[in-house]
Amino acid sequence: MTVTRAYHHGDLPRALLAAAVAAIEESGPAALSLRDLARRAGVSHAAPTHHFGDKAGLLTALAVEGFDLLAAALTAAGDDLLDVGVAYVDFAVSHRAHFEVMFRPDLYRADTPEVRAARERAGAALHLGVAALPPHRAEPGESRTDALAAWSIVHGFATLWLSGALPPDIDADPRAAARTVIRHLIPPP
Amino acid sequence: MTVTRAYHHGDLPRALLAAAVAAIEESGPAALSLRDLARRAGVSHAAPTHHFGDKAGLLTALAVEGFDLLAAALTAAGDDLLDVGVAYVDFAVSHRAHFEVMFRPDLYRADTPEVRAARERAGAALHLGVAALPPHRAEPGESRTDALAAWSIVHGFATLWLSGALPPDIDADPRAAARTVIRHLIPPP
DNA sequence: ATCGTATCTTTACGTTGACAAGAAAGCGAT
DNA sequence: ATCGCTTTCTTGTCAACGTAAAGATACGAT
């Protein structure tokens, strides 16, 4: 006799991560409860701990998944810095649970090799967009601060939007507002 | 006989806020424990709850204090957008506990009138720096996105630095790096 | 001196993360 | 088939946490 479950046997980790995303989108990563996740998945209270070691382990897995998703989204956006920047903000908006965890290293183990590798993949994808910029300034090392400025402006816009600090009319269409904001950084041709 | 205490009688709230700042700087706002604060202040575990109602109440007070400190720092920086921007980053670096709480509205009551007022004071101070920019573009409503772009780039740089996402050489002198980054936003005269 | 209030303590309850030990199911080797 | 090993999950337990209620103590105004 087969037991009816919400997940295929052996796929508890995936189900738990999905439940964690839903829970974080509801009430933030600080209020995440392992026992609540177990309840949602219909397993005992200690099942999550077995698969992820502890709470930080679960959030580490979520962060890795997030950096990989971000890398894929940025790569798919192409070479234009404007498109890549909008894709960054779009990722934060449409994957806010992942994004909120990714940049809160006190919640997980950010120094794991897997996390480091996934983060570097995302960073490389972001740099591709910056590299397509015309080298209008001849100063050495300028492209590095170019990248840092681009990263800062899209990351700042994304986190401000996530924290609800932006006025309501921007809340309505963050992607369009992001495009306008990023344009301020790119010199007119 | 007078009892030796770490704080003047009646100043427990201040002592608790100071202890909270120290605790958050050590291990982040998520790991903050009211009972730990009480231990540090030498009072019973329920004393913090009396003064702040609950944990969110304490963090609300901390956020209000933070927005006021930020407003003061930005005002003191003057009218130049570059200076104001660097002051924003400098505030995040030198008051990281306040800053981390301020932009995490799921941890406190961000819709309180006091919080709202303090946040608007800080916003007004930031806008002063943007208003000093030359109106080089004649498009209507441009100054609003100017402000948003400026806020985004300094906020993004600050949060990236706080989350440890920036390379080590930038960690060493974030203020200088911030100045370089902000310059990317300001058109050369 | 007394009353009222603010300040803190004591006690208690439900929830949480973590740990340890055990049950149960899959699985390859024999 | 069945033995032994591993993975998966359950059960039981513990200390720590946030919160609430009620009692104790001190302060200040009258």
Domain extents for chain A? 1-53, 59-183
Task: Point out the least confidently predicted range of A7-21, B123-137, B145-159.
Answer: B123-137
Q: Which residue is nearest to nucleotide D10 (CA to C1')?
A: A44
- Quick check: B109 CB within 7 A of strand C? no
Closest nucleotide (CA of A36 to C1')?
C16
8 A C-beta contact, residue B165 and residue A151: no
Average pLDDT value for residue range A116-128: 95
* Residue A42 reports pLDDT greater than 50: yes
CATH number, span B62-183: 1.10.357.10
Average pLDDT value for residue range A148-172: 95
Task: Point out the least confidently predicted range of A1-5, A13-17, A132-136, A152-156.
Answer: A1-5
* Residue A44 reports pLDDT greater than 90: yes
Distance A59 CA to D10 C1' (A): 23
What is the model's pLDDT at position A160?
97
What is the model's pLDDT at position A1?
30
Percent of chain A topping pLDDT 90: 79
Question: How many whole angstroms separate alpha carbon A50 and alpha carbon B42?
Answer: 38
| Pairs of CB atoms within 8 A across A/B | 107
What is the model's pLDDT at position A60?
98
* Residue B125 reports pLDDT greater than 90: yes
Percent of chain B topping pLDDT 90: 79
Better-scored residue on pLDDT, A5 or A188: A188
What is the model's pLDDT at position B133?
72
Find, among A81, A188, A77, A185, the residue nearest to A133 by Cα.
Answer: A81
Give the model's confidence band at A6: pLDDT under 50 very low, under 70 low, under 90 confident, else very high: low
Q: Which of A151, A153, A159 sits opposite B149 (nearest CB)?
A: A153
* Residue A131 reports pLDDT greater than 90: no
Question: How many whole angstroms separate alpha carbon B148 and alpha carbon A177?
Answer: 9
Q: pLDDT, tens digit, for every residue of B27-75?
A: 999 999 999 999 999 999 999 999 999 999 999 999 999 999 999 999 9
Mean pLDDT, all residues of chain A: 90
Q: Which of B107, B163, B181 sits opposite A30 (nearest CB)?
A: B107
What is the model's pLDDT at position A3?
37
CATH number, span B1-53: 1.10.10
What is the model's pLDDT at position B144?
84
Q: Which of B29, B160, B181 sits opposite A145 (nearest CB)?
A: B181
The SS3 call for residue A108 is coil
Report the top-level CATH class of A59-183: mainly alpha
Helices marked H in B28-173 — which ranges?
34-41, 47-52, 55-76, 81-94, 96-102, 113-131, 142-162, 168-172
The pair phi, psi for residue B48, each rounded to 5°, is -60, -40
Better-scored residue on pLDDT, B15 or A134: B15
Q: Which residue is nearest to nucleotide C7 (CA to C1')?
A: B10
What is the model's pLDDT at position A144?
84
Q: pLDDT, tens digit, for every residue of B133-189?
A: 766 554 556 778 899 999 999 999 999 999 999 999 998 999 999 999 999 998 765
Residue B91 tokens, joined: 């505030």
What is the model's pLDDT at position B105?
95
What is the model's pLDDT at position A188?
64
Average pLDDT value for residue range A105-129: 95
Task: Say if residue B177 is exposed, middle or buried (CB neighbours under 10 Å; 0-12, 13-18, 19+).
Answer: buried
